[in-house]
Structure 1
Amino acid sequence: MNIKQLYILSFCVYLIVSIFTFMLYTALPAMIAKEGLSPQYSGLVFMSMLPFMLSFFYSGFIESFRKRKKSALKILMCGCNLALGLLYFLIAFLDLINDFYIILGIFVIMNILCSCSIVCLNGVGIEQSNRNQKITLNTIMLLASGLGGAIGIILSLIIYDKFGFRICNIFLGFSILISCLPLFRLHYVDSIKFIPQKILNTLKSKKSWKNILSLILLIFPLVLNNSMSSTLLIYLGFEVSVVGILSGILSSLALVIASPLMYSFIRFCGFYNALKITLIFEVLLFTFMALNMVLWQSHLYIIITLFLASLCFGAQFIFCYTLGMRWCEDSSQSGVDFSFLRMSENAGFIIAGIIASQIVGIFVANINDIKSLDSINLSSISLIFTHKGIDNNLSKAYFYIFILSAIFALLGLISIKGVKNEK
C-alpha cells in the first residue's frame, strides 16, 4: 500500500471509529441525562468500551490473521466498518430506557469491531511509513477524529433533540456506511512476511510496561476532565441541541485546531519542551477550572476552559501516538506492541469515565435533583456570557473531578523525564 492510500485508509477508519466513540463517550451521556436516568448508567456505557480497551489481548489473533492472508486486511477493514454501520440500524429499533441493556450489549460488539480496525491500521501504519510520515499520519488521524466528533456529537445530539433516538441512530448508520465507501476502492497490499504474533512477548518486556505507564499519565488527566463535560452542560440548563453544538466545538473543532497548532509548536520548541509546557499549562488550567466551580461559577469560564482542555487533548494525541509509534518501529510485531501502548488511551477513557460518573452520581442522583437556572436554547445562547451560579451539589462533584485532573497532570509532568530524549 503506497503512502497516499495509507493516508486515505487512516482518514476513513479514524472518521468511522470517531463517529462511534464520540457518540458513545460524549453524546450518549448527555442523552442519558436528558432522559432523567442516573449518572451511573453513563458508567455502564463507559464499561461497554472494555473490549476496546483490552484489544491488546486479542490483537495477536488479529495481526496473525492480517499477515497470513493477502486479502485479510481488506476483509477486516471493509467487513468490520460495514458491520459497525449496520448495527446502528438495529439500535434504531430499540428504546434507550426500556432496552438499555440490549443496547449496551450491541455497543460491546461494536467496540470489538472498532478494535479490529484500529489494531490493523496501526500495524500497517507503523510498518509502511517512516518517521516524518508518521507525524503526517497522526495529523490526518487527528483531523479525521475532529470530523468524526462533529458527526458523533454535534449532529447526533441535534438530530436526537429534534427527531428522537431512532432517527439519530439511522443517521449515524448512514454516516458510517458512506464513510466506508472509499475502503472498498483501495488497493490493499501487505508485504510483511508472516511472523507469529504473541502478546506474551510484549508482556514480558519491561520497556513496554514503562512506556505504557508514561502514556497513561499523559492522557488520563484530560479524559477525566472531559468525560462528563456534556453532562455538566445538560445539568447547567442547556438544551440538548445547544449541548450538541458546544460539545462539538469543544471536542471536534479543538482537535482540528490543535493538529497544525501543536505540529508547529513542536517544530519550534522541540518535542520534549513542547510536551513539558503543555503539561504545565494543563495543571494550571485544571486548577482554575476547579476554583471556578466553587468561587466564580461562571458559565463562560466553563466553556472557555473546556475548549482549552480539548486543545490539550489534541496535543496529547500527537505526543502519545508519535511516541508510541516510534517505540514500536523496530518490533517484529508492531501492531501487537502498539495495541498494548494504546491501552493507555483506552484505559484512560474507560477508567476516567467510570470515576467521573461515580463522583457525579454521589452528589447528583438525577437531573431532577439539580436546581438549574433558566433553560438555555439556541435563541438565548448569548446568555452564556452572563450566566453565573451552579447547584451546590453539582459544583462539589465537578470540583473534585477537575482537581483530580490537575493532580494527575502534575504526576504526568514529573514522569516525562523518561521521554526527554525523544525528538
Structure 2
Amino acid sequence: DIDVLASSEDAEKVMDHFSTLPTVVDVTGKGHTKTSVRLKGGIAVDLRVVSPEQYPYALHHFTGSKEHNTKMRHIAKSMGLKMNEYGLFSDEGNENIPCSSEEDLFKALGMTYIPPELREDMGEIEAALENKLPKLVESKDMLGIFHFHSHYSDGSNSIAELAEEVKRQGYRYMGMADHSRSAYYARGLKEEDILRQIEEIDELNSKYKDFHIFKGIESDILTDGSLDYSNDFLKNLDFVIASVHSQFRMDKESMTKRISTAMDNPHTTMLGHITGRLLLSRDGYEVDLDKILGKAAQKGTVLEINANPHRLDLDWRWVKKAKEMGIRIMINPDAHSLSEIAYTSFGIAMARKGWCEKKDVLNCLDIDAIKKFLHN
C-alpha cells in the first residue's frame, strides 16, 4: 500500500478532494485525520492530514522504521524530552519545542539531518550524533550506466537509439550487455553476432566526441561456473557481466561454488542480479552471500545493483555490507527499452539506502577513469 502525509489547516477539505479523485474506486475508511481508499488496479492508499505545525514531527514518524523511531524516542527521553508524531515536548511542562522542518527536529536532539533512506536503526543515529553520516550518492553524480539489451537479443531498440536516449539524458557513457548464446530464449548472441555488434559500436563511437559506448556482454554463468565464451574471445570486450539465468534450484554449496568459479575468470568484471530474486514472484536462489562478498572484496569484482523494480538486486542490506568491505558497486537499469532507462532511479535509491557515497559507485567515474578501471 501507499501512505501519504499532508499538512493543511482544513483537513476535511483535503480528504474530500482526495476521496473523489478519478483513480479512486472505493473509500474504505474516513475519519477526522485519515482517509483510506482503493485505487483502480487494487492499490490501497492511506492519506493522513496534520496541521502545518505538526508536519515535521509526523513526517519523521511515518518515514522512519519502528526501530529507528523507538531509538529516537529513547534519545529524546535521555535529554528530558518526549517525542511522538505530534511534537517534541519537555517532559515537565508538556510544552512543544517548535520545529519548522525535520532538520530542526534533528538539530534539537543534537544530530545532523538523517536522510529518510537511512532511518532503519542500523547505525545512522549514532553517526548523526557524531556528525559522521555519509554524503549519499545522488542522480547528478551519475555519469554513465551499463547493462543494456538491444534488438540484437531481447531488447526493443537499436544500439544507436539507446545511445541517443542515454546521451539525451545527460550521461557521458553507456555499456551494452546483450544476452549470451546460452540464453536462447532471449536470442542470446553467437560469437559472430558479437563481432558484428562490436563493429557497429566502433562506428558509432567514431561519430561521438563527448560520449562513449563500452562493448560488453551479459554472460550466463554455466552450471560448472564457466562463462559462455572462451577467454580468448572475451578479450574482444571491455567488460563482462556474469549472471545466473538457469538451474536456480542448485543447493547452496553448489551455487556458491558456481558463482565463485565465475569470479575467478579474469574477464568477469561484475556479477549481475546476484541472488536472482524477482520481487513478489520468485525467491532468490540459495547462495552464501558472505562468501561471495568476501571473494568480491579479494578479487576486486564489482557488484551490480540491478535497478529493475522487479529485482532491486543486490538488496540494500547487502549493499551496505559490500560498501563496508570496500567492494565497488555499479547501478544498472538492465534496460530492454528506452523507457526502462528510468529504472536507474530505483537503483540509486537502493544505493542510498545501502549508505553508498559517490566514491563507492563506479557510475560516478568520468570516461577516462572508467576506461582505466575496465582495462585494468
User: What TM-score do you get using the length of structure 2 for normalisation?
Assistant: 0.24
Q: Which structure has greater strand proportion? A: 2
Structure whose CA Rg is larger: 2
TM-score by length of 1: 0.22
